[in-house]
Chain A
Amino acid sequence: MEKSNEQNKEMTAQESLDLISEMLNNNRRCILQNSAKHFILWGALLLVFSIVIYELLHVTRDLRWNLLWFAMPVLGFPLARLLGKKGTVVPQNVISGQLHYIWLAYCAFAVVISIVAMFEMPSCITLLLVALLGFAECSSGLLLKNWPIIIGGFILGVGGAVVALLVRSEAQLLVFAAGGLILAATGLIVKRQYQ
């Protein structure tokens, strides 16, 4: 809608429907752009944490460095909150609410699985977490009706799970690094798509 002094003018039926459609599309674009920022943030965090923990494990051979994973949500949630406050506040709707719950559920699963793994390290933990991560991203894409997110989530979940079966020990952390890269790249693609 263009700035004009005629914003209170009467319109034809077609103009009215076009305006409604334009506003609804703008809302959708804003919500997608906002989601993209969060994909980039969490993707970047996952990438950095994976590489740092991988290096620390590789150098020290001390498995306790895995505890650093718990610092990721501690750092990530305040940063996400800060990101949400930056610039114009994007309103929430049913879809953004559902997205919020999908990722909250993933976070809860990841934290609980990681706590269980501290006591009994299962060989399939990377496979499980990366498949769940891909599932969360793919579900987000389906909700947002956005193909790059759907495809990114599928590659991340299925591809990551297959690679997790093929690699051993700390090299599995690089699967998470690749996952972080895919997540951030998806965010960048969506951001560019709706700029």
Chain B
Amino acid sequence: MTMFPKLDPILHSELRLAVMSILIGVDEADFTYLKKQTGATSGNLSVQIDKLMAAGYITVEKGFKGKMPHTTCKITTTGQEAFNKYVESLKEYLSASK
């Protein structure tokens, strides 16, 4: 199985990539939706969301919906650019390996 270390290390992780792939296609998504779509545990998802936020790829808004805590994530322009660059690199890598 071929691995490639030069890709963006923030995106080149299964759960973080899944979160970014969801956020690239929507205006914003809440934590529950991300958890349901990725099948991740709350703890792991929180950690990966924090990493994406620290990289400036997403913004996180924490608030309340009624009495329940509500977290919303949104991709940033930096995140969109990084994601597009990552996809382009993947395509280049695949075409080069053919």
- Tell me the complex Cα distance, A163–B89, Å: 56
Cβ A12 vs Cβ B33 within 8 A: no
- Tell me the complex Cα distance, A3–B21, Å: 17
- Tell me the complex Cα distance, A16–B7, Å: 11
Cβ A89 vs Cβ B32 within 8 A: yes
Residues on B with beta carbons closer than 8 Å to the beta carbon of A14: 94
Cβ B93 vs Cβ A24 within 8 A: no
Which of A71-129 touch B at CB < 8 Å?
88-93, 97
Q: How many residues of B contact A (CB 8 A)?
A: 37
Cβ B39 vs Cβ A20 within 8 A: no
Cβ B14 vs Cβ A7 within 8 A: yes
Which of A1-57 touch B at CB < 8 Å?
1-3, 6-14, 16-17, 19-20, 22-24, 26-28, 30
Q: How large is the interface on A (under 10, 10 to 19, 20 to 34, 35 or more residues)?
A: 20 to 34
The reply on B78 being an interface residue by CB < 8 A is: no
Cβ B36 vs Cβ A88 within 8 A: yes
Residue of A nearest to B32 (CB): A88
Shortest distance between the CB of B89 and any CB in chain A (Å): 8
Residues on B with beta carbons closer than 8 Å to the beta carbon of A90: 33
Shortest distance between the CB of B35 and any CB in chain A (Å): 9
From A8, A17, A19, A91, give the contact of B27 (CB < 8 A): A91
Shortest distance between the CB of B2 and any CB in chain A (Å): 6
Residue of A nearest to B83 (CB): A20
Shortest distance between the CB of A27 and any CB in chain B (Å): 5
- Tell me the complex Cα distance, A11–B18, Å: 12
Residues on B with beta carbons closer than 8 Å to the beta carbon of A28: 25
The reply on B28 being an interface residue by CB < 8 A is: yes
Residue of A nearest to B37 (CB): A26
Cβ B21 vs Cβ A89 within 8 A: no
Cβ A92 vs Cβ B48 within 8 A: no
Q: How would residues 1 to 42 of chain B score, 1 for a CB under 8 Å from any chain A CB and 0 otherwise?
A: 111100000001111111001101111111011001111110
Q: How would residues 54 to 88 of chain B score, 1 for a CB under 8 Å from any chain A CB and 0 otherwise?
A: 00000000000000000000000000000000110
Cβ A89 vs Cβ B30 within 8 A: yes
Shortest distance between the CB of A31 and any CB in chain B (Å): 8
Cβ B90 vs Cβ A17 within 8 A: yes
Shortest distance between the CB of B46 and any CB in chain A (Å): 13
Residues on B with beta carbons closer than 8 Å to the beta carbon of A8: 13-16, 44, 48
Residues of A within 8 A of B (CB): 1-3, 6-14, 16-17, 19-20, 22-24, 26-28, 30, 88-93, 97
21 contacts between A and B (CB under 8 A): A7-B15, A7-B44, A8-B13, A9-B13, A11-B14, A13-B2, A13-B97, A16-B12, A19-B14, A19-B17, A19-B18, A19-B21, A20-B17, A20-B87, A23-B38, A26-B22, A27-B22, A89-B33, A91-B33, A93-B26, A97-B27
